[in-house]
Structure 1
Amino acid sequence: MMEKLKYTKFKTLLISSFICISIIPVVLLGLFIFHLSKQELIRQSEKQMWQNAENVSDILDEKLDYIEEFSLKINVDTRIYKIFQNLDTSDSMQLESASQEISKILLDYLPWNNTVYSTHIVTPYYQFGEKEKNYYPNYSFMGSKIQKAADEANGKLVWIPAYNYMDMFSIEDMPRDFLEYEHVFTAVRKLQLSRVESGHIEHLENKTDQMYLVVNFTEDNLNNMLKKYTKANSQILYYIMSEDGSVVGPYGENESKLFRNVTAADMGITENKGTVKYYGANNQEYIVTYSKSMVTGWYTLAMIPVNVFSKNIATDLTRAILILVTIEIILSVTTAVLISRKIGKKVYKPLHMIEKTGEGNFTARIVYDNRDEFAFFYKKLNEMNQNLQMLVHEKYEMMIQKRDTEIMSLNIQMNPHFLYNSLNIINWVCLKGEQENASKMLLDLSRMLQYTSQNGDVLVPLWEDLDWLKRYIGIMQKRYQDQFEVSMDIPEYLRSLEVPKLFLQPFVENAIVHGFKNYQDSGKIWISAEEEENDILFYVEDNGCGICEEDLKEVLNKERKSIGVRNTNKRIRMIYGEKYGVTISSQLEEGTVVTIRLPLKVNSKKQS
Structure 2
Amino acid sequence: MRLHLSKGILGAARSLFTSIRVTLHLSYFVVILLGITLVGTVSFYVSYQSMLERVESASFQIVRQIEKNMDNDFQNKRNLLLAPYYNQEYIDGINAYATMDEQAQFLFRQKIGDLFLKSFNITPIRDFKRFQIYYSSGELLNASDAYKAIAAKDVQNADWFRQTVAKDGRVHFNAPLTSTPAETGEAAYSSSLLIRDFSNPVNFVIVRAEYNDELFRSIGQNDNLSASSRIVILNEHNQQVYSSSERPDTASEPGMLSLINSESGKFWYGTGQEERLVAYTRSDYSNWKVVLVTPKKEIFGPLDQIKTTTLVTALIAFVVTLCISLLFGRSITNPILDLYKTVNRVKRGDFSVRVHVKRSDEIGRIATNFNDMQDELQTLIESKYIYQIKLQQVELAMLYSQINPHFLYNTLDSIKAMADYYKVEDIGDMAQSLADMFRYNTKSKDEVVTLRDELEQIDAYMNIQRTRFEDKLAYELDIEEELYTFAILKMTLQPLVENAVFYGVEQKLGKSTIRITARKEDNHMLLTISDDGVGMSGERLQEIYARLGEPFYMEHLPVAASEGGIGLRNVYARYAIRLGDQFEFQIDSQAGHGTSVTLKLSAENSLTKPQ
Return the TM-score normalized by structure 1: 0.44
Q: TM-score, normalised by structure 2?
A: 0.44
